[in-house]
Amino acid sequence: MGSEIRRSMPVLPISIVMQLTDLTARQIRYYEEHNLVQPHRTEGNRRMFSLNDVDVLLEIKTMLERGTNMAGIKKVFAMKKRADTDGKKEISDRELRRIMREEMLQARSMQKTSIRQGNLSRFY
Amino acid sequence: MGSEIRRSMPVLPISIVMQLTDLTARQIRYYEEHNLVQPHRTEGNRRMFSLNDVDVLLEIKTMLERGTNMAGIKKVFAMKKRADTDGKKEISDRELRRIMREEMLQARSMQKTSIRQGNLSRFY
DNA sequence: TTTTCATGTTAGAAAACCTAACATCTTGTT
DNA sequence: AACAAGATGTTAGGTTTTCTAACATGAAAA
């Protein structure tokens, strides 16, 4: 539904995102460098984030805390995107199994993490 | 519901509120001067608005466009607050009738205004 | 023990925001 | 018509926030 629009509107300055995610500006910019988020830019070049961006950042945070590194995180996100775009395609079996294992680990840890899951339901 | 929390979180800088409401910074600050909105302030004294604040600003805008002045708007808001807090109380009859007339006018014009009503459903 | 990875820190510049004051344009009054 | 009041525009000078880029560091991998 149209709630996609709201969640993708770039309205949050980095300072607020820092508070919402408990990440430093350095971390947020670093993840952007790795193309994990692509905040909008104002005319004056200031980053503006959407709620979806915040969600992504929280997911990244959780995975990093679980020990996953940038490379792994990138793959997970690439997966998600692919599973979303295509209806699933040519993915090497080994890779698929590794990813699934990761996703399941994430899912499990989600239940215990209680406060830092990959969504903002606690704020909304 | 907890969606009250989300809508009252001060996360929007004035520049974004300007876009969302199509008001100038001058106008927004002027309405604040009249205590119609009370944005949160960062440590560095920057205003931060909530979605509720944006709603209020849109209501103000509509009423002003309809010709209601600050004084009238203040009363309408005072009414709403009172009707919310108390269960309705001692209000002079003339005043009550005047206010009701205004509210009805607002309600009617709402139907035609189409895009600038006092809510953000178009964004969400 | 070297690299590599993720993050900290700092410097200098630019953008966004702030308050305060004065200007302007309507509109209602006298 | 002249005036007072209300709402908004504009400007100036100052402060906060954000940006990029570079270099530093601690921990883990190789």
Please report whether residue B118 resides in a domain: no
Please report whether residue B121 resides in a domain: no
Please report whether residue A68 resides in a domain: yes
CA A13 distance to own-chain centroid: 17
Domain that residue B108 falls in: 3-113
Q: Measured between CB atoms, which of A9, A12, A123 is closest to B6?
A: A123
Q: What percent of chain B has pLDDT over 90?
A: 57
Mean pLDDT (chain A) is: 80
**Which is higher by pLDDT, A55 or A80?**
A55
Please report whether residue A49 resides in a domain: yes
> Residue by residue, what is the 3-state secondary structure of chain A?
CCHHHHHCCCCEEHHHHHHHHCCCHHHHHHHHHCCCCCCEECCCCCEEECHHHHHHHHHHHHHHHCCCCHHHHHHHHHHHHHHHHCCCCCCCHHHHHHHHHHHHHHHHHHHHHCCCCCCCCCCC
Cα–Cα separations (whole angstroms), residue A108 to A24, A74, A100, A103, A115: 26, 20, 12, 9, 14
pLDDT band at B119 (very low <50, low <70, confident <90, very high): low
pLDDT band at A85 (very low <50, low <70, confident <90, very high): confident
Q: So what's the pLDDT on residue B69? A: 93
pLDDT at B91 over 60: no
Q: So what's the pLDDT on residue A98? A: 55
Domain of residue B55, CATH code: 1.10.1660.10
| A9-23 pLDDT, tens digit each | 999 999 999 999 999
Pick the residue from chain B with its C-alpha nearest to A51.
Answer: B11
Q: So what's the pLDDT on residue B1? A: 77
Please indicate whether, in this complex, the C-beta atoms of A124 and B11 are within 8 angstroms of each other. no
Please report whether residue B119 resides in a domain: no
Please report whether residue B21 resides in a domain: yes
Please report whether residue A118 resides in a domain: no
pLDDT band at B13 (very low <50, low <70, confident <90, very high): very high
Please report whether residue A20 resides in a domain: yes
Q: Are B102 and B109 in contact (CB under 8 A)?
A: no
How distant is the Cα of B11 from the closest Cα of chain A, in angstroms?
6
pLDDT band at B99 (very low <50, low <70, confident <90, very high): low
User: How many structural domains are present in chain B?
Assistant: 1
Q: So what's the pLDDT on residue B63? A: 94
| B32-44 pLDDT, tens digit each | 999 999 999 999 9
